[in-house]
Amino acid sequence: MVKFVIVDDDTKEIEHVRKLICEVVEDAKIVSFPKITSELKSEIQNTDEHKIYVLDIELANKVSGITIAKLIREVDWESEIIFITNHDKMFESTHRSIYEVFSFIEKFHEFDKRFKRDVKEILKRNFDNKMFKYSANNIDLNIYYRSILYICRDKEERKLVIITPNNKYKLNMTFDTIMDLLDGRFVKCHRSCIVNKNRVEELNYKDGYFVLDTGDKVYLLSKMNKKLIEDD
Protein backbone atom coordinates (compact mmCIF):
# COMPACT_ATOMS: atom_id res chain seq x y z
CA MET A 1 0.00 0.00 0.00
CA VAL A 2 1.20 3.50 -0.79
CA LYS A 3 2.11 5.75 2.11
CA PHE A 4 1.23 9.45 2.19
CA VAL A 5 3.62 11.93 3.80
CA ILE A 6 2.21 15.42 4.40
CA VAL A 7 4.46 18.36 5.32
CA ASP A 8 2.60 21.55 6.21
CA ASP A 9 2.93 24.02 9.10
CA ASP A 10 -0.85 24.56 9.21
CA THR A 11 -2.58 21.83 11.22
CA LYS A 12 -5.94 22.65 9.63
CA GLU A 13 -4.43 22.17 6.17
CA ILE A 14 -2.94 18.85 7.24
CA GLU A 15 -6.32 17.62 8.43
CA HIS A 16 -7.97 18.85 5.24
CA VAL A 17 -5.47 17.02 3.04
CA ARG A 18 -5.79 13.93 5.24
CA LYS A 19 -9.57 14.00 4.75
CA LEU A 20 -9.21 14.26 0.97
CA ILE A 21 -6.78 11.33 0.90
CA CYS A 22 -9.19 9.17 2.90
CA GLU A 23 -11.97 10.00 0.43
CA VAL A 24 -9.83 8.44 -2.31
CA VAL A 25 -8.06 5.66 -0.39
CA GLU A 26 -9.80 3.78 2.38
CA ASP A 27 -7.59 3.04 5.38
CA ALA A 28 -4.82 5.13 3.87
CA LYS A 29 -1.47 5.09 5.62
CA ILE A 30 -0.73 8.74 6.42
CA VAL A 31 1.96 10.50 8.42
CA SER A 32 2.37 14.26 8.76
CA PHE A 33 5.00 16.77 9.86
CA PRO A 34 4.83 20.55 10.48
CA LYS A 35 8.49 21.08 9.57
CA ILE A 36 11.77 19.25 8.99
CA THR A 37 12.40 17.03 11.98
CA SER A 38 14.63 14.07 12.68
CA GLU A 39 11.53 11.88 12.24
CA LEU A 40 10.85 13.35 8.80
CA LYS A 41 14.48 12.86 7.79
CA SER A 42 14.24 9.22 8.90
CA GLU A 43 11.03 8.85 6.89
CA ILE A 44 12.77 10.21 3.79
CA GLN A 45 15.75 7.91 4.27
CA ASN A 46 13.46 4.88 4.46
CA THR A 47 12.96 4.04 0.78
CA ASP A 48 11.44 0.61 1.34
CA GLU A 49 7.91 1.97 0.79
CA HIS A 50 6.35 3.74 -2.17
CA LYS A 51 5.21 7.16 -1.02
CA ILE A 52 3.30 10.18 -2.14
CA TYR A 53 4.75 13.33 -0.58
CA VAL A 54 2.40 16.30 -0.23
CA LEU A 55 4.57 19.34 0.42
CA ASP A 56 3.59 22.92 1.17
CA ILE A 57 6.16 25.07 -0.59
CA GLU A 58 6.08 27.92 1.94
CA LEU A 59 6.74 26.78 5.51
CA ALA A 60 6.89 29.09 8.52
CA ASN A 61 10.30 27.91 9.68
CA LYS A 62 12.03 29.29 6.56
CA VAL A 63 12.69 25.80 5.19
CA SER A 64 10.71 25.47 1.98
CA GLY A 65 9.06 22.47 0.39
CA ILE A 66 11.69 22.76 -2.33
CA THR A 67 14.38 22.03 0.27
CA ILE A 68 12.47 18.96 1.41
CA ALA A 69 12.05 17.81 -2.20
CA LYS A 70 15.81 18.08 -2.64
CA LEU A 71 16.34 15.85 0.41
CA ILE A 72 13.86 13.32 -0.99
CA ARG A 73 15.50 13.17 -4.41
CA GLU A 74 18.94 12.68 -2.91
CA VAL A 75 17.85 9.17 -1.89
CA ASP A 76 14.50 8.45 -3.55
CA TRP A 77 13.53 8.85 -7.20
CA GLU A 78 10.57 6.49 -7.02
CA SER A 79 8.13 8.25 -4.70
CA GLU A 80 5.84 10.94 -6.10
CA ILE A 81 5.82 14.58 -5.01
CA ILE A 82 2.81 16.90 -5.04
CA PHE A 83 3.47 20.55 -4.23
CA ILE A 84 0.82 22.80 -2.69
CA THR A 85 1.64 26.28 -3.88
CA ASN A 86 0.66 29.89 -4.48
CA HIS A 87 3.40 30.36 -7.06
CA ASP A 88 3.00 31.05 -10.75
CA LYS A 89 3.60 28.84 -13.78
CA MET A 90 7.20 30.00 -14.21
CA PHE A 91 8.02 28.65 -10.76
CA GLU A 92 6.34 25.39 -11.67
CA SER A 93 8.16 24.95 -14.99
CA THR A 94 11.50 25.65 -13.30
CA HIS A 95 11.17 23.07 -10.56
CA ARG A 96 9.00 20.33 -12.07
CA SER A 97 11.78 18.74 -14.12
CA ILE A 98 14.51 19.19 -11.50
CA TYR A 99 12.76 17.19 -8.84
CA GLU A 100 10.45 15.01 -10.99
CA VAL A 101 7.40 16.63 -9.39
CA PHE A 102 4.06 15.06 -10.27
CA SER A 103 2.02 18.26 -9.89
CA PHE A 104 1.74 21.76 -8.47
CA ILE A 105 -1.70 22.52 -7.03
CA GLU A 106 -2.79 26.05 -6.18
CA LYS A 107 -4.41 26.34 -2.76
CA PHE A 108 -7.27 28.53 -3.86
CA HIS A 109 -8.13 27.16 -7.29
CA GLU A 110 -10.29 24.00 -7.24
CA PHE A 111 -7.85 22.49 -4.77
CA ASP A 112 -10.00 19.57 -3.57
CA LYS A 113 -10.93 18.48 -7.09
CA ARG A 114 -7.40 18.70 -8.45
CA PHE A 115 -5.80 17.01 -5.46
CA LYS A 116 -8.11 13.99 -5.53
CA ARG A 117 -7.75 13.71 -9.30
CA ASP A 118 -3.95 13.69 -9.04
CA VAL A 119 -3.93 11.07 -6.28
CA LYS A 120 -6.18 8.85 -8.40
CA GLU A 121 -3.90 9.32 -11.40
CA ILE A 122 -0.82 8.35 -9.39
CA LEU A 123 -2.53 5.24 -8.03
CA LYS A 124 -3.76 4.31 -11.50
CA ARG A 125 -0.19 4.27 -12.76
CA ASN A 126 0.40 1.29 -10.51
CA PHE A 127 3.73 2.85 -9.57
CA ASP A 128 5.48 2.58 -12.88
CA ASN A 129 8.75 3.64 -11.34
CA LYS A 130 11.27 1.57 -13.24
CA MET A 131 14.34 3.61 -13.98
CA PHE A 132 17.17 3.84 -16.46
CA LYS A 133 20.34 4.09 -14.41
CA TYR A 134 23.71 5.05 -15.81
CA SER A 135 26.96 5.90 -14.08
CA ALA A 136 30.23 6.65 -15.87
CA ASN A 137 32.80 9.43 -16.20
CA ASN A 138 31.40 11.42 -13.26
CA ILE A 139 27.89 11.19 -14.74
CA ASP A 140 25.08 9.68 -12.69
CA LEU A 141 21.69 9.46 -14.37
CA ASN A 142 18.43 8.21 -12.92
CA ILE A 143 15.58 8.62 -15.41
CA TYR A 144 12.13 7.11 -15.16
CA TYR A 145 11.45 4.84 -18.15
CA ARG A 146 8.06 6.51 -18.48
CA SER A 147 9.80 9.88 -18.91
CA ILE A 148 11.90 8.73 -21.87
CA LEU A 149 10.27 9.63 -25.19
CA TYR A 150 12.88 8.20 -27.54
CA ILE A 151 16.61 7.65 -27.96
CA CYS A 152 18.47 8.66 -31.10
CA ARG A 153 22.02 9.08 -32.32
CA ASP A 154 23.86 12.39 -32.50
CA LYS A 155 25.76 11.99 -35.77
CA GLU A 156 28.30 14.73 -35.06
CA GLU A 157 29.32 13.60 -31.59
CA ARG A 158 28.52 9.93 -32.24
CA LYS A 159 26.67 9.66 -28.96
CA LEU A 160 23.23 8.40 -28.03
CA VAL A 161 20.77 11.07 -26.95
CA ILE A 162 17.99 10.26 -24.49
CA ILE A 163 15.06 12.61 -25.11
CA THR A 164 12.62 13.41 -22.30
CA PRO A 165 9.92 16.10 -22.29
CA ASN A 166 12.28 18.51 -20.55
CA ASN A 167 15.84 17.39 -21.19
CA LYS A 168 18.36 15.72 -23.49
CA TYR A 169 21.10 13.45 -22.15
CA LYS A 170 24.10 12.44 -24.29
CA LEU A 171 25.82 9.14 -23.53
CA ASN A 172 28.74 7.18 -24.92
CA MET A 173 26.83 3.95 -25.54
CA THR A 174 25.76 1.70 -28.39
CA PHE A 175 22.15 0.85 -29.22
CA ASP A 176 22.73 -2.79 -28.30
CA THR A 177 24.14 -1.83 -24.91
CA ILE A 178 21.35 0.57 -24.03
CA MET A 179 18.65 -1.86 -25.18
CA ASP A 180 19.90 -4.30 -22.55
CA LEU A 181 19.18 -1.65 -19.91
CA LEU A 182 15.61 -0.93 -21.05
CA ASP A 183 12.37 -2.88 -20.72
CA GLY A 184 9.79 -4.12 -23.23
CA ARG A 185 8.13 -0.77 -23.84
CA PHE A 186 11.16 0.29 -25.89
CA VAL A 187 11.48 -0.84 -29.51
CA LYS A 188 13.88 0.01 -32.30
CA CYS A 189 11.85 1.87 -34.91
CA HIS A 190 14.79 2.98 -37.06
CA ARG A 191 18.47 2.12 -37.32
CA SER A 192 19.12 5.39 -35.46
CA CYS A 193 16.21 5.44 -33.05
CA ILE A 194 14.62 3.58 -30.13
CA VAL A 195 11.15 4.75 -29.13
CA ASN A 196 9.05 4.33 -26.00
CA LYS A 197 5.94 2.83 -27.61
CA ASN A 198 3.83 3.88 -24.60
CA ARG A 199 4.42 7.52 -25.55
CA VAL A 200 3.51 7.11 -29.23
CA GLU A 201 0.18 8.45 -30.51
CA GLU A 202 0.63 7.79 -34.24
CA LEU A 203 2.88 5.78 -36.57
CA ASN A 204 3.10 6.99 -40.16
CA TYR A 205 5.22 4.53 -42.15
CA LYS A 206 4.43 6.19 -45.46
CA ASP A 207 6.06 9.47 -44.50
CA GLY A 208 8.48 7.92 -42.00
CA TYR A 209 7.50 9.62 -38.77
CA PHE A 210 5.85 8.98 -35.42
CA VAL A 211 3.91 11.41 -33.23
CA LEU A 212 4.44 11.42 -29.48
CA ASP A 213 1.89 12.18 -26.77
CA THR A 214 3.69 15.52 -26.37
CA GLY A 215 2.60 16.42 -29.91
CA ASP A 216 6.14 16.21 -31.29
CA LYS A 217 6.60 14.66 -34.73
CA VAL A 218 9.84 12.69 -35.18
CA TYR A 219 11.03 11.59 -38.62
CA LEU A 220 12.79 8.42 -37.51
CA LEU A 221 10.43 5.61 -38.45
CA SER A 222 11.43 2.83 -40.83
CA LYS A 223 9.18 0.40 -42.68
CA MET A 224 11.89 -2.21 -42.11
CA ASN A 225 11.04 -2.15 -38.40
CA LYS A 226 7.27 -2.28 -38.86
CA LYS A 227 6.97 -5.99 -38.08
CA LEU A 228 9.19 -5.66 -35.02
CA ILE A 229 7.08 -2.86 -33.61
CA GLU A 230 3.71 -4.48 -34.36
CA ASP A 231 4.78 -7.91 -33.07
CA ASP A 232 6.10 -6.32 -29.89
- For 1-33, the pLDDT digits (tens) are 689 999 999 999 999 999 999 999 988 899 999
Cβ neighbors of 11 (< 8 A, separation 6 or more) are 34
Q: What distance lies between CA 182 and its chain's CA centroid?
A: 16
Domain ranges for the chain:
3-124, 131-231
Stated pTM of the model = 0.56
Query: Which residues pair with residue 104 across a beta bridge?
Result: 83
From the options 3.40.1080.10, 2.60.40.10, 2.40.50.1020, 2.170.120.20, give the CATH code of 131-231: 2.40.50.1020
Q: What is the pLDDT of residues 155-214, one digit of tens each?
A: 888 899 999 987 899 999 999 999 999 988 999 999 999 999 989 999 999 999 999 989
The Cα–Cα gap between 228 and 12 comes to 55
The Cα–Cα gap between 92 and 57 comes to 11
Query: May I ask the CATH class of domain 3-124?
Result: alpha beta
Give the helix ranges, DSSP H, for 88-194: 89-96, 111-124, 175-179
The Cα–Cα gap between 153 and 176 comes to 13
Bridge pairing between strands 3-7 and 29-33: parallel
The Cα–Cα gap between 190 and 226 comes to 9
